[in-house]
Amino acid sequence: MVQDYWPSPISMKAENVLISIAGLCTVIILYLTITSTETVQDENNWQISDVCLDDHNSLATHEHVQLTIIINGTQVEIGPNIGIGEPGCDGMKGIHTHDDSGRLHIETPSPMSAPLGAFFEIWGESFSEQEILGHYADDEHEVVLKINGEVNSLYEEYMMEDGDIIDIEYRSR
């Protein structure tokens, strides 16, 4: 004789609760995914920051920019060999210095843009409209960017060009 199996009312109730919870979680995740207006953004992903050159042969670009940084009236030294012989790159990064003159060398194996922020990323220092080298803009201080004597509002997104004279100043308002 074959007996029919009938689950107990308790196990059926538990199963229904679990299925309902799983369905509710799925609906919530789908809703949040569809209605989310925020996108996940990485930090700046500048191609030139990843360039590592062994030498000066076969360059598509070799440009120079003069950078000066003034913090509360005092010029900051931009050190030698920034972007040279660093972890992950035994050679030279796409933007680097050779001495402490503030002259940036932009050298790439193929044409690519050179955002000012990429140099600061390579240097390991902060720079934006709100901060320069750990000094923050507030009600009493501001960060001012000048390109060839003209105030510029692009800050880290400014695409450097050969011969640019770049002045960044953190000062009282």
User: What φ, ψ does residue 92 adopt, rounded to 5°?
Assistant: -120, 135
22: in domain = no
2: in domain = no
pLDDT at 87: 87
Bridge-partner residues for 61, per DSSP?
A: 108
pLDDT at 86: 87
* Distance, CA of 10 to CA of 98 (rounded, Å): 77
pTM, 2 dp: 0.73
Contact criterion met (CB below 8 Å) for 66 and 164: yes
156: in domain = yes
pLDDT at 38: 45
28: in domain = no
pLDDT at 42: 43
The DSSP code for 159 is: B
86: in domain = yes
127: in domain = yes
Q: Which domain holds residue 153?
A: 47-172
148: in domain = yes
Instruction: List per-block mean pLDDT (blocks of 10 residues) for the chain, which spans 173 residues.
Output: 62 74 73 54 75 86 96 97 92 96 96 96 96 96 98 97 98 95
> What CATH number is associated with residue 143?
2.170.130.30
Q: How many domains does the chain have?
A: 1
Contact criterion met (CB below 8 Å) for 134 and 126: yes
